[in-house]
């Protein structure tokens, strides 16, 4: 039977062993569960994210978990389970858009700034440092507030607000790697042979820089979940009439906690913790698998043998060598002086 051959970019994942393998696949499983919930939310959720009745009667406000609403209802009469499932779709959509927007903006700017240098590099570094100096949540709130009048408080607004937070991170990582790679001998050789700048950046620089971006993207995805929840908790996130969102549900559950109504805040909070944990494990696992230095340290085996074993082997070898020499020595020649 012919063995399945993985693509080149997937081979490090297939070769991962030990703790790195466990961390990576644990993150994959957790994130995959939420992705399935997001894709099939209309089929899995028993009700809509803002549905307050079943067609004939209204849901009971803050009803405890029962056979009809297995996770109870909220102060707004919505089903908690349905809100959590629909909230997973909102979270995955915002994270995907924010990561894609950050990659499309941060990576090209970092490549250009690091390779070209000069005055444009200094200007871009100054702008990114200014953005990086802002508290990330405050920056996201400002962007969301400025865009809310034109775009509304929807998924796009939340994604753009989070994008502004993470573009400086991608810019810094890519630029620093480009500065170190552009002085390598193979880049100098391509430049000496007259290769166009675009070819050098695309073929020689980008291929060696992009390997650290997936791990950073998954770690930023975990942080983006927290930022989205914080925006919703503070009232600058997605409107409850547009989509289900966990941060908004937590904000509405503050008063319930003091009254002993635990289910309205427990399940949205647990969903946030689980998804953040999944993206964090996925990012750490990718970093261990993709980074060749970490991978070589984790797979390298000690080659030093114990002293006693070495001594015993050496002495045994010496004894065997000596006995062999004695057994193979030629017999003494007879004395030819007297007959």
CA distance 47 to 45: 5
What is the tens place of the pLDDT at every residue in 15-43? 555 677 788 889 999 999 999 999 999 99
CA distance 53 to 57: 6
pLDDT for 332 equals 52
Asked whether residue 58 is domain-assigned, the answer is yes
The domain tally of the chain equals: 1
The residues facing 23 across adjacent strands are none
> pTM of this prediction?
0.78
Report how far apart the first and last C-alpha atoms of the chain are (Å, whole number): 80
pLDDT for 9 equals 47
Expressed as residue numbers, the domain containing 103 is 14-299
Q: Which residue intervals of 52-79 are DSSP H helices?
A: none
Asked whether residue 67 is domain-assigned, the answer is yes
pLDDT for 323 equals 47
Asked whether residue 195 is domain-assigned, the answer is yes
CA distance 260 to 28: 35
pLDDT for 21 equals 77
Asked whether residue 101 is domain-assigned, the answer is yes
* CATH code (residue 98): 1.10.3720.10
Asked whether residue 329 is domain-assigned, the answer is no
pLDDT for 336 equals 45
Cβ neighbors of 21 (< 8 A, separation 6 or more) are 285, 289
Low pLDDT (below 70) residues in the chain: 1-18, 291-339
CA distance 65 to 75: 14
pLDDT for 1 equals 44
The residues facing 53 across adjacent strands are 58
Asked whether residue 34 is domain-assigned, the answer is yes
Asked whether residue 125 is domain-assigned, the answer is yes
Length of the chain (residues): 339
What is the tens place of the pLDDT at every residue in 93-110? 999 999 999 999 999 999
Asked whether residue 309 is domain-assigned, the answer is no
Half-sphere exposure of 70 (CA within 13 A, CB side): 6
Cβ neighbors of 257 (< 8 A, separation 6 or more) are 265
pLDDT for 315 equals 47
Task: Provide the token pair at 269.
Answer: 């909070």
């Amino acid at each position: 039977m012919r063995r399945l051959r993985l693509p080149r970019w997937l081979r490090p994942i297939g070769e991962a062993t030990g703790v790195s393998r466990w961390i990576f696949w644990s993150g994959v499983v957790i994130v995959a569960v939420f992705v399935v919930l997001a894709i099939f939310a209309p089929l899995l959720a028993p009700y809509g994210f803002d549905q307050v009745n079943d067609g004939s009667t209204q849901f009971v406000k803050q009803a405890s978990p029962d056979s009809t609403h297995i996770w109870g209802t909220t102060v707004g009469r919505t089903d908690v389970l349905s809100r959590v499932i629909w909230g997973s779709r909102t979270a995955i959509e915002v994270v995907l858009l924010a990561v894609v927007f950050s990659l499309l903006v941060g990576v090209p700017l970092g490549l250009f700034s690091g390779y070209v240098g000069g005055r444009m590099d200094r200007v871009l570094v100054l702008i990114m440092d200014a953005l990086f100096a802002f508290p990330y949540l405050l920056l996201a709130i400002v962007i969301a507030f400025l865009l809310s009048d034109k775009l509304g408080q929807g998924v796009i607004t939340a994604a753009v607000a989070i994008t502004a937070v993470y573009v400086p991170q991608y810019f810094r990582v890519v630029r620093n790697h480009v500065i170190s790679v552009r002085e390598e001998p193979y880049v100098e050789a391509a430049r000496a042979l007259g290769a166009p700048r675009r070819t050098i950046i695309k073929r020689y620089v980008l291929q060696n820089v992009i390997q650290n971006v997936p791990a950073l993207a998954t770690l930023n995805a975990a942080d983006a979940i927290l930022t989205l929840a914080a925006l919703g908790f503070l009232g600058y996130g997605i409107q409850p009439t547009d989509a289900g969102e966990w941060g908004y549900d937590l904000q509405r559950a503050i008063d319930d906690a003091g009254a002993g109504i635990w289910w309205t805040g427990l399940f949205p909070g647990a969903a946030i913790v689980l998804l953040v944990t999944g993206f964090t494990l996925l990012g750490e696992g990718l970093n261990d698998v993709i980074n060749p230095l970490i991978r070589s340290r984790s797979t390298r085996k000690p080659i030093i043998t114990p002293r006693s074993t070495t001594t015993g082997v050496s002495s045994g070898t010496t004894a065997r060598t000596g006995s062999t020499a004695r057994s193979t020595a030629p017999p003494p020649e007879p004395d030819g002086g007297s007959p």
